[in-house]
Structure formats: structure tokens, C-alpha cells
Amino acid sequence: MRLEEMKKEIEKLVLEKGFYNKPEDVPKKLLFAFIELGEASDAWKKGNSEDEMAEELIDVIFYVLDASRLACPSIDMDEMFLRKLEKNTKREYQYGEGHRAKNKEHTY
Ligand SMILES: [Mg+2]
């Protein structure tokens, strides 16, 4: 299933279950995604099964895609994924983690 298909399935679920469904609800959905990340972290720390871990990570994806549906409805998330993958692929080795190279220079 592609991301755009997932968004449609999530929208159906949101409407059917009466969840928040307005652009002004985007911050709540992003907060819920953070909460699910916390649940994933907790599952990892507790050594829970891969199945439980995967379920929490899917919860994160649900909320992220749900937020994207309302925050940037004209964007095709499958296309955006490919664009972002290409952009990141062109970046330098360990991009955004310059502190790792710096730490190697300093021995404390
Ligand atoms: Mg959860």
C-alpha cells in the first residue's frame, strides 16, 4: 500500500470513528505522534516483542500521515518521499551529525 492509499484509509477511519478532522487539529495529531513515539521507546526499553514495537511505530505513521492529510492536502506523500530520499542521498556522509566527527577530535 502506498502512502497516498494509507492516507485515504486513515481518513475513512477518522471519519468513521469521529476523530479530529480539521486543519486546526494538526497540532493535536502531531502531539499524538510524539506520544506514540514515546510508547515505542517504552516498548523498546521494556524489551517488548517486535510485534508490539512495530505496532507502536505504525501508530506514529498513522498520526503523521493523518496530520499530512490536513496540513498539506495538495502534496502527494509518495512523491515527497522520493524527493526527500533523493535529497538526502545527495547529502554528505553522516550529514547533520557533525558532533560525531567533532567528538572524535576531542579526547576528554
Ligand atoms: Mg500506541
* Ion ligand 1, residues whose Cβ is below 5 A away: 36, 39, 56, 59
Domain for residue 81, yes or no? no
Domain for residue 86, yes or no? no
Full residue range of the structural domain in which residue 29 is found: 3-76
Q: What is the largest CA-CA distance in the chain?
A: 57
Average pLDDT over all residues of the chain: 94
Distance 92 CA to ligand 1 centre (A): 34
Distance 59 CA to ligand 1 centre (A): 5
Q: Looking at residue 106, what is its pLDDT? A: 55
Convert the pLDDT of each residue in 22-67 to its tens digit.
999 999 999 999 999 999 999 999 999 999 999 999 999 999 999 9
Share of the chain above pLDDT 70, in %: 93
Share of the chain above pLDDT 90, in %: 85
Domain for residue 106, yes or no? no
Domain for residue 38, yes or no? yes
Q: Looking at residue 5, what is its pLDDT? A: 98
Domain for residue 89, yes or no? no
Domain for residue 105, yes or no? no
Residue 18 grid cell:
469521529
Using the predicted structure, report yes or no on whether residue 104 has a pLDDT greater than 80.
no
Domain for residue 104, yes or no? no
Domain for residue 41, yes or no? yes
Distance 99 CA to ligand 1 centre (A): 32
Q: Looking at residue 98, what is its pLDDT? A: 75
* pTM > 0.85: yes or no: yes
Residue 2 grid cell:
502506498
Three-class SS string for the chain? CCHHHHHHHHHHHHHHHCCCCCHHHHHHHHHHHHHHHHHHHHHHHCCCCHHHHHHHHHHHHHHHHHHHHHHCCCCCHHHHHHHHHHHHHCCCCCCCCHHHHHHHHCCC
108 — pLDDT class (breaks 50, 70, 90): low
What is the number of domains present in the chain? 1
